[in-house]
Chain A
């Protein structure tokens, strides 16, 4: 099916987008939501299942207290109210990867509700705009198993001959976080969607409640989108694009659906209320399941589980364990470090915030810490194709290298060789300096001899300096440094040249 896509600028001229985001987060508890099976990713199929998570007749669920604790902490970090009393409910529908043919979830009594998250986006003009995303609810539920589709084309569900189901993932605790409709974002809708998911991810990482690995599916995002005729204020029919599994894809999926909806509406058609699948390869979506009134989950309170009634004391105790909110922390650190907006944004953008903070804690100056991580080490990480944190150099080592520079034992150029040694695992910075013979030569006799040799080799340059053209000293310094294989203090060399020729 070919879609008529309307250029983004034209979409914005004619329509107001309404966004809604549903994010499923797998908690990193040791055990599943309702049984003691492990949650380790990548185990052999059906080795992490028991009567409960396999839905065997007679088995019963018992709530993982740690998962409830994580749910409450997430709710608090999203500025939510925490329910004083809530229940689990059964969401009834048949699907082969769901062992009981109902999902134990929460329905009209979520553990957390009515919160918000402020997200920042950068405009093309380089300014920061803040949007408040209101949170409808965050509730607890369980994950499903995973099917492998065999036969047909490319392992997709459609056209497969049969499927093979592994229930290891079934029952892993999920928190589903649902926003209220996000209105008034205009052309920023794709950026706001992406920034929201990024901010949520940052919060979850800070809480330590999930691995939030989008590529492994431990964080999955469904994007709801609808368009209203500009200024009408009437919400249009929405589509729900499922399992958009990277930050970039979130932005692209919103952008694509905006163009597609506009194409349908301007062509006189009606948007179908349906789920859509996002295709990473070309950034398009394709139709999934039509959402109709016939869809009837027949929710009712789970009779095998008793209500969850977190005491206010417990909630306050958990509130006191919350880390500083990421935005607040960034503002504080920027002020402490004296970074410009651009320096701060680059530091965050490079994923270097924690590393810089730890390097400073280990004794380096903020500017030195930033310089090494953003320039030298980011380049290496890029070349190696790994995260900055996996480049093989610790914040403590960076601080130790900088201390060597500050003491005059090495210079920046030699420091790069020290980093080579660190990445190669040759020992501590001091050991590498010693083993590689990188220490700056401080023997005045050798230095003086090298200067004399340079003057002798370059009589015309020496003459210029004698004539008062001090700027020409650079050429002699270069010659001396070459002679000394870089292991000289350039400042001292300059002093010596000027002494001898002054």
Chain B
């Protein structure tokens, strides 16, 4: 079972967009290790021949008709917005490019 390093925890926090400070990293890293150690017990429990289950009840082909249903009003859509302007959600400047 590989120990998860403090740097790795910092990287995970970055991926998860959580701004953890040093104290939080110190506090969380050992807890995460304990949890990961305990869940690592499932390694080797199921062989290659066992199919994974992503959905507990097997259904397929659940489709909707291509028929328009009412949208929210713009007021409703924007009702929770921390900031809005001209009918749009106002967000701070974006650093990265689109994917």
Residues of B within 8 A of A300 (CB): 54
From residue 47 to 88 of chain B, which have CB atoms closer than 8 A to chain A?
54-55, 59-74, 77-78, 80, 85-88
Given A95-B96, A296-B15, also A44-B74 (CB < 8 A): yes
In this complex, how many residues of chain A approach chain B with their Cβ under 8 Å: the count is: 62
Give the complex CA separation of A402 and B63 in angstroms: 51
Interchain CA distance A103-B88 in the complex, whole Å:
21
User: Residues of A contacting B27 with CB < 8 Å?
Assistant: none
Residues on B with beta carbons closer than 8 Å to the beta carbon of A68: 63
Q: Are A64 and B87 in contact (CB under 8 A)?
A: no
Q: Contacts of B63 on A, CB cut-off 8 Å?
A: 62-65, 68
Interface residue A148 (Cβ < 8 Å from any Cβ of B) = yes
Contact status of A87 and B88, CB under 8 A, knowing A44-B74, A97-B98 = no
Contact partner of B74 (CB less than 8 A), chosen from A47, A95, A161, is A47
A63 to B61, CA, bound (A): 9
The reply to whether A36 and B67 contact each other, CB–CB distance below 8 Å, is yes
In the assembly, what is the distance between CA of A309 and CA of B15, in Å? Answer: 33
- B66 to A288, Cβ gap below 8 A? no
A310 to B61, CA, bound (A): 7
B6 beta carbon closer than 8 Å to chain A: no
Is the beta-carbon distance between B66 and A65 smaller than 8 angstroms? yes
Contact A64 B64 (CB under 8 A): yes
**With an 8 A cutoff between CB atoms, is B92 at the interface?**
yes
A165 partner, pick from B11, B68, B91, beta carbons under 8 A:
B91
Q: Which residues of A contact B92 (CB under 8 A)?
A: 162-163
Query: Would A85 and B94 be within 8 Å (CB), given that A46-B74, A47-B71 are in contact?
Result: no
User: Taking A65-B63, A65-B66, A66-B66 as contacts, is the C-beta distance between A160 and B94 under 8 angstroms?
Assistant: yes
Q: How far is the CA of A314 from the CA of B97 in the complex (A)?
A: 40
Q: Is the CB of A165 within 8 A of B71?
A: no
Q: Is the CB of A275 within 8 A of B97?
A: yes
Partner of A306, one of B55, B64, B65, B66: B55
Distance A330 CA – B28 CA, assembled complex (angstroms): 66
Interface residues of A in 71-99 (CB under 8 A from B): 85, 87, 93-97
How big is the B interface, by class? 35 or more
* Nearest CB on A from B98, distance (A): 7
Q: Which residues of A contact B99 (CB under 8 A)?
A: 93, 95, 103
Q: Which residues of A contact B74 (CB under 8 A)?
A: 44-47
- Is the Cβ of A65 less than 8 Å from the Cβ of B64? yes
Q: How far is the CA of A165 from the CA of B77 in the complex (A)?
A: 12
B43: Cβ under 8 A from any A Cβ: no
In whole Å, how far is B87's beta carbon from the nearest beta carbon of chain A?
4
Within the assembled complex, what's the spacing in Å between the Cα atoms of A103 and B98? 12
The answer to whether B62 and A160 have CB atoms under 8 Å apart is no
Q: Is A437 an interface residue (CB 8 A)?
A: no
For the complex, is A226 an interface residue (Cβ under 8 Å from B)? no
Interface residues of A in 264-287 (CB under 8 A from B): 275, 277
In contact, B98 and A36 (Cβ under 8 angstroms): no
Interface flags, A396-432, vs B, CB<8A=1, else 0: 0000000000000000000000000000000000000
A164 and B67 contact, Cβ closer than 8 Å, known pairs A301-B54, A306-B59: no
Report the Cα distance A241→B62, complex, angstroms: 36
A35:B61 contact, CB within 8 angstroms: no
Contact A45 B88 (CB under 8 A): yes
Within the assembled complex, what's the spacing in Å between the Cα atoms of A119 and B15? Answer: 42
Name the distance in Å between B54's Cβ and chain A's nearest Cβ: 4
Interface string of A297-338 (1 = CB under 8 A from B): 010110101111110000000000000000000000000000
CB of A37 within 8 Å of the partner chain: yes
The 6 closest A-B pairs by CB, nearest first: A36-B69, A65-B63, A66-B66, A164-B88, A301-B54, A309-B60
Chain B positions within 8 Å of A, measured between CB atoms, are 11, 15, 17, 54-55, 59-74, 77-78, 80, 85-94, 96-99
Some 17 contacts from A to B, beta carbons below 8 A apart, are: A31-B67, A31-B68, A36-B67, A54-B72, A62-B63, A65-B64, A157-B97, A160-B93, A161-B93, A162-B93, A163-B94, A164-B91, A165-B88, A166-B88, A242-B98, A308-B60, A309-B61
